[in-house]
Structure 1
């Protein structure tokens, strides 16, 4: 390979120092703030940032259609993060409600928000903004003046769900959902008034109600803007289904903010028996948090396909269906995990280590800082693997339980890979069980995840534990 295009690598001891002192996030935050604000004296400005502890403060934006709970969520997040809760209503000079066909005054609101977020309390404590932007143009205008959130939480619900949010607290301005969200105290419950709640974040005088069609008009206008808003904030966006208990919505939003605002670059190791879902969960984590998905088996095949001397050596073992020696695997892993993308974005490793010696060797070159054991029973693992089959004509994969073939003709020609045969899988499970105790000794702080559940539930468990490992 030409040295001029060889991927940049970071020595393990340098990566360890950067991880310990959170250098990557520190530099990114300082550079971003410097370029956005463009102070006349950059050095003095950076010194002020460090002295006030403003590097890494929460900068959160909550987006949602009307009456879905954005105000309540933003208020709770700001309290938990000890950040300033900023609403459009608190910034508007004219307190009258805009008509359903009228947008918030963009230039005026952008100026007001920019000024408010640069005041000392927001500068030092961080902020949670809700109610603006409502369009992609407004989002771009905010970015142009330097208002760039680090986390964007977008709530989504079907139209028929928002119509169920028909009670509001006239004093506090919080919208409640009969099914899922209810005030925690009696005084709040007594203040609830029947009828559509008034716009989130604003307390409407008693006796006034929002015109019947106004909420639907606002919802329709918002939904038309969702694709543009998603595009504007695609790199730091979390979409959460709000059609669930508010406590679950809040926990998902908080986990997202804390996970992406983590103090350590994630180096995640997924361990578990074959069929526990390691590859699937690694793909979900990589997609959600932009970490590098490192599957040991795929990595070896990729290196073998390059045609280098090292690749040819690996290919010889693959052709003979023999295990690749640990020394060679570790060389490949060290090379891959030392690259800049892994150092900056973090990585998720699965498929290695499989025994005590491999785990100890990995600890010497690139020790993980989050380890999860995906625990699944042998029966579940066997069912998941042995029911898999491939159509040799189309290459499409099916599963006897989850995704059966659509016709008897396709079913008859399905082929099961030799490694997915029951006898082979049983042997692999036995091998894993033999080495589980030793692996647990190397990683005593690892978290155990019940992987017998459906993939979505397993992912939620992983996601909730990322900040606690």
Structure 2
């Protein structure tokens, strides 16, 4: 199963992707996590990306595309993968389509979690509060100003992806405002239809 999860920051993409990881035994390829690991490890990509990420802006396409291509080539992606946080722009989507075509790989579905943007701020604040209450560390980009910038970036750059994948017949919309279990059930129902084709 080869999937892309789309939706604005805080929509629940990571949560639902983790459930799909368990169901299909495929890795979740989160570009955000890959980049944060690069920052934590002080790699060249990490050092360059840190300042950009702290401002809530996107890391350049060529850097992210190269990182994703290398990751898809790894052994654990042979049975499939879930892309979370990539592509973010139509240009990235076109590059991904070309890359997958070159590898002889086809996407099974692009899942959009549809949510109310006003609710996302509440979700982010709750995630921060829960993380702090559990004694965890809050991500540097989890604050209201940076989060608003990330939402604006999503609306401007990522939302056009929906039309791109809709035209390709790969987009599936799921109501992300429901409870986590109901969203997971709806995604499973959609993928069962894809899997049977």
TM-score, normalization: structure 1?
Answer: 0.36
2:152 maps to which residue? 430
Question: 1:304 deviation in Å?
Answer: 5.3
**In structure 1, distance between residues paired with 2:111 and 2:172:** 5
Computing the radius of gyration from Cα coordinates, the structure with the larger value is 1
Q: Does 1:294 align with 2:29?
A: yes
Q: Does the residue aligned with 2:46 lie in a helix, a strand or coil?
A: helix
1:464 maps to which residue? 189
Question: 1:300 deviation in Å?
Answer: 2.5
Question: 1:289 deviation in Å?
Answer: 1.7
2:103 maps to which residue? none
1:359 corresponds, among 90, 93, 112, to 93
- Evaluate the alpha carbon distance shift between residue 434 and residue 443 of structure 1 in structure 2; reply closer, same or farther with a 3 A threshold: same
1:320 maps to which residue? 51
Q: Does 1:395 align with 2:135?
A: yes
Question: Relative contact order (C-alpha < 8 Å, sep 6+): which is higher?
Answer: 2
- Evaluate the alpha carbon distance shift between residue 437 and residue 303 of structure 1 in structure 2; reply closer, same or farther with a 3 A threshold: closer
Q: Which runs of 5+ in 2 are unaligned?
A: 101-105
- Evaluate the alpha carbon distance shift between residue 453 and residue 340 of structure 1 in structure 2; reply closer, same or farther with a 3 A threshold: same
Q: Does the residue aligned with 2:193 lie in a helix, a strand or coil?
A: coil
Q: Does 1:382 align with 2:121?
A: yes
Q: Does the residue aligned with 1:467 lie in a helix, a strand or coil?
A: helix
Question: 1:358 deviation in Å?
Answer: 1.0
Contact 2:39 2:50 in 1 (8 A): no
Question: 1:360 deviation in Å?
Answer: 0.9
**In structure 1, distance between residues paired with 2:44 and 2:90:** 25
Question: 1:271 deviation in Å?
Answer: 0.4
CA displacement 1:91-130 (0-9 Å, x = unmatched) = xxxxxxxxxxxxxxxxxxxxxxxxxxxxxxxxxxxxxxxx
CA displacement 1:308-327 (0-9 Å, x = unmatched) = xxxx2212223424543211
Q: Does 1:347 align with 2:81?
A: yes
CA displacement 1:206-234 (0-9 Å, x = unmatched) = xxxxxxxxxxxxxxxxxxxxxxxxxxxxx
Contact 1:291 1:346 in 2 (8 A): yes
Q: Does 1:275 align with 2:37?
A: no
Question: 1:434 deviation in Å?
Answer: 2.2
Q: Does the residue aligned with 1:348 lie in a helix, a strand or coil?
A: strand
Instruction: Give aligned pairs, total.
Output: 180
Q: CA RMSD in A?
A: 2.3
For 1:183-202, what aligned pairs fall within 5 Å after superposition? none
1:373 corresponds, among 106, 112, 121, to 112
Question: 1:370 deviation in Å?
Answer: 1.0
Q: Which runs of 5+ in 1 are unaligned?
A: 1-265, 398-415
For 1:16-165, what aligned pairs fall within 5 Å after superposition? none
**In structure 2, distance between residues paired with 1:430 and 1:320:** 18
- Evaluate the alpha carbon distance shift between residue 370 and residue 313 of structure 1 in structure 2; reply closer, same or farther with a 3 A threshold: same
**In structure 1, distance between residues paired with 2:159 and 2:50:** 32
For 1:183-332, what aligned pairs fall within 5 Å after superposition? 266-303=1-38, 312-322=43-53, 323-332=58-67
CA displacement 1:273-311 (0-9 Å, x = unmatched) = 11110000010110122111111111233355667xxxx
Q: Does 1:420 align with 2:142?
A: yes
More helix by share: 2
**In structure 1, distance between residues paired with 2:95 and 2:63:** 12
- Evaluate the alpha carbon distance shift between residue 301 and residue 275 of structure 1 in structure 2; reply closer, same or farther with a 3 A threshold: closer
Q: Does the residue aligned with 1:453 lie in a helix, a strand or coil?
A: coil
